[in-house]
């Protein structure tokens, strides 16, 4: 489905992911791809490539689990303070272009706004405080409180129960394609990804989901998008 095919009169809820969707993923990329490996290499007196391999192996082992996103797990696994490491790059935490105006528009339209995130609670709260967007949400559903990550179907069952969300009347915007696939299986048909979660990287591609290039294009009741997107 493309954005232009949304029947806004039927929509009462919009669910947003946080990192890579509303927030630029550049912060997280710098932490996990650069600062964390450097800290691990220094601590264990190994080269940066060996440190990256340790992290990559653990990421692969914990893919699609809560551990993948847990600061507690990573702090224990690497014997490093992940919270302290993230604090060093707080200045990189920022909203994606168009995120706040979009939240303002949707909030004023009377739609229910829900934040659904896998982020560790400490990370989530810090990012919400820095960006000031907590006020826009009627519900905040954190995977660590629910007990399942968004790639797992029980997450969406619990979200629906807790928020009284009707999936047939819901839009989900998330940069994680695995999350979009799970949500679609659970009944959310209006699922959209993000073309450039990290503003410093190239655009991503998908044949399964429409990827939003600019959040400014999303408007309740009206969607503006390039005409060549209708063929996707």
The CB density around residue 193, as the number of other CB atoms within 10 Å, is 24
Q: 17-76 pLDDT, tens per residue?
A: 999 999 999 999 999 999 999 999 999 999 999 999 999 999 999 988 999 999 999 999
User: Quick one: 172 and 76 in the same domain?
Assistant: no
User: Quick one: 114 and 198 in the same domain?
Assistant: yes
For a pLDDT cut of 70, what percent of the chain falls above it?
A: 94
Residue owning tokens 């959310």: 188
Using an 8 Å Cβ cutoff, are 230 and 2 in contact?
yes
User: Quick one: 107 and 153 in the same domain?
Assistant: yes
Which pair of tokens denotes residue 212?
A: 């939003």
User: Quick one: 112 and 162 in the same domain?
Assistant: yes
Residues with a catalytic annotation lie at 10
SS3 232: coil
Q: Tell me what percent of the chain is helix, strand and coil, each rounded to the nearest 5.
A: 50, 15, 35
Residue 123: its pLDDT value, please? 93
- Residue 66 lies in domain: 27-91
What is the number of domains present in the chain?
Answer: 2
The CATH number of residue 207's host domain is 3.40.50.1000
User: Quick one: 182 and 111 in the same domain?
Assistant: yes
Does 147 score more than 90 pLDDT? yes
| Average pLDDT score over residue span 161-174 | 96
- Is residue 1 very low, low, confident or very high in pLDDT (cuts 50, 70, 90)? low
* CA dihedral for 148, 65, 13, 99, sign (positive or negative): positive
Please give the C-alpha separations between residue 8 and each of 23, 155, 224, 225, 228, in angstroms, as whole numbers: 24, 25, 13, 15, 21
Instruction: Give the bridge partners for 170, in sequence order.
Output: 13
Please give the C-alpha separations between residue 214 and each of 1, 6, 14, 112, 203, in angstroms, as whole numbers: 17, 16, 17, 21, 11
Q: Is the pTM of this model over 0.75?
A: yes
User: Quick one: 209 and 147 in the same domain?
Assistant: yes
Please identify, among 45, 72, 91, the residue that sits at the C-terminal boundary of a domain.
91
User: Quick one: 46 and 142 in the same domain?
Assistant: no
Please identify, among 57, 91, 125, the residue that sits at the C-terminal boundary of a domain.
91
Please identify, among 64, 91, 118, the residue that sits at the C-terminal boundary of a domain.
91
């Amino acid at each position: 489905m493309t954005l232009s095919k949304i029947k806004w009169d039927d929509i009462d809820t919009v669910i947003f992911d946080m990192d890579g969707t509303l927030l630029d993923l550049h912060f997280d990329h710098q932490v996990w791809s650069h600062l964390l490996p450097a800290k691990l290499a220094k601590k264990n007196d190994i080269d940066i490539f060996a440190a990256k391999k340790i992290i990559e192996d653990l990421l692969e082992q914990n893919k699609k689990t809560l551990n993948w996103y847990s600061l507690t797990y990573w702090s224990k696994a690497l014997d490093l303070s992940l919270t302290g490491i993230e604090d060093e790059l707080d200045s990189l935490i920022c909203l994606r272009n168009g995120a706040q105006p979009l939240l303002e528009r949707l909030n004023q339209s009377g739609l229910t706004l829900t934040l659904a995130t896998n982020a560790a609670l400490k990370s989530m709260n810090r990012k919400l405080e820095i960006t000031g967007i907590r006020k826009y949400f009627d519900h905040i559903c954190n995977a660590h409180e629910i007990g399942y990550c968004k790639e797992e179907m029980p997450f969406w069952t619990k979200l629906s129960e807790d928020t009284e969300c009707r999936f047939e009347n819901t839009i989900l915007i998330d940069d994680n394609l695995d999350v979009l696939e799970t949500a679609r299986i659970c009944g959310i048909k209006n699922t959209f990804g993000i073309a450039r979660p990290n503003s410093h990287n190239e655009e991503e591609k998908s044949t399964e989901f429409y990827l939003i290039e600019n959040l400014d294009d999303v408007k309740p009741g009206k969607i503006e998008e390039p005409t060549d997107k209708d063929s996707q």
